[in-house]
């Protein structure tokens, strides 16, 4: 029994009959409308999100590449430190590092009492710290004494440092 005003469910045969009764122009319009609905659904559900994602990555990739390029030297230095970590520090190795840092004229190192004694004479502060801090980050080297003071004119834009540093290799000393 059907409620007044409601039509009974349409069967597949009934739909085919209605389709056949439509004029060719009406069928073409319905097919075109169905194709437009499918195209709009594909656009909204598939293509538009892909295009948004592509635009996002076009902006993001150059930034990520720049970060990668900036971090590459740090990663190489860290890898070299890992490889050198297996090697124990030596007096000759420290001398090579001092020379490579351009501090050979103002930083003298010698072995006394099984420890490395460094004498610092008027070294630019930034150059000294750029060499010393990564060195002290090596767990194989122990800082035992640090006596530094600023030298030269206090109004100088770049500070210069003089003093003494005493270090030793953990787990024994190496000449």
Scanning 43-86, the segments in alpha helix (DSSP H) are 48-85
Helix H or strand E encompassing 167: strand 160-169
- pLDDT digits over 8-63, tens only? 667 888 899 999 999 999 999 999 999 999 999 999 999 999 999 999 999 999 99
- pLDDT digits over 128-151, tens only? 888 888 888 877 888 999 999 988
CB atoms within 10 A of CB 5: 5
Q: What is the model's pTM?
A: 0.48
For the chain, give the longest Cα–Cα distance.
Answer: 110
CATH 1.10.287 for domain 91-169 = no
Helix axes 125-136, 91-100, angle to 10 degrees: 140
What is the β-pairing status of strands 141-151 and 107-112? unpaired
| Residue 74 banded pLDDT, cuts 50, 70, 90 | confident
How is the chain split into domains, by residue range? 12-82, 91-169
| Residue 172 banded pLDDT, cuts 50, 70, 90 | very low
């Amino acid at each position: 029994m059907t409620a007044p005003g409601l039509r009974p469910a349409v069967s597949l045969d009934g739909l085919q009959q209605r389709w056949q009764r439509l004029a060719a122009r009406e069928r073409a319009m319905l097919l075109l409308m169905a194709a437009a609905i499918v195209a709009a659904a594909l656009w909204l559900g598939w293509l538009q999100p892909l295009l948004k994602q592509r635009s996002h990555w076009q902006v993001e990739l150059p930034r990520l590449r720049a970060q990668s390029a900036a971090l590459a030297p740090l990663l190489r230095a860290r890898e070299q430190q890992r490889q050198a970590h297996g090697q124990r520090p030596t007096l000759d190795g420290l001398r090579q590092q001092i020379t490579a840092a351009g501090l050979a004229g103002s930083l003298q190192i010698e072995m006394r009492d099984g420890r490395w004694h460094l004498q610092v004479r008027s070294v630019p502060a930034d150059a000294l710290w750029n060499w010393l801090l990564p060195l002290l980050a090596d767990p194989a080297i122990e800082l035992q004494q640090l006596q530094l003071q600023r030298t030269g004119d206090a109004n100088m834009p770049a500070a210069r440092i003089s003093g003494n540093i005493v270090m030793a290799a953990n787990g024994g000393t190496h000449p």
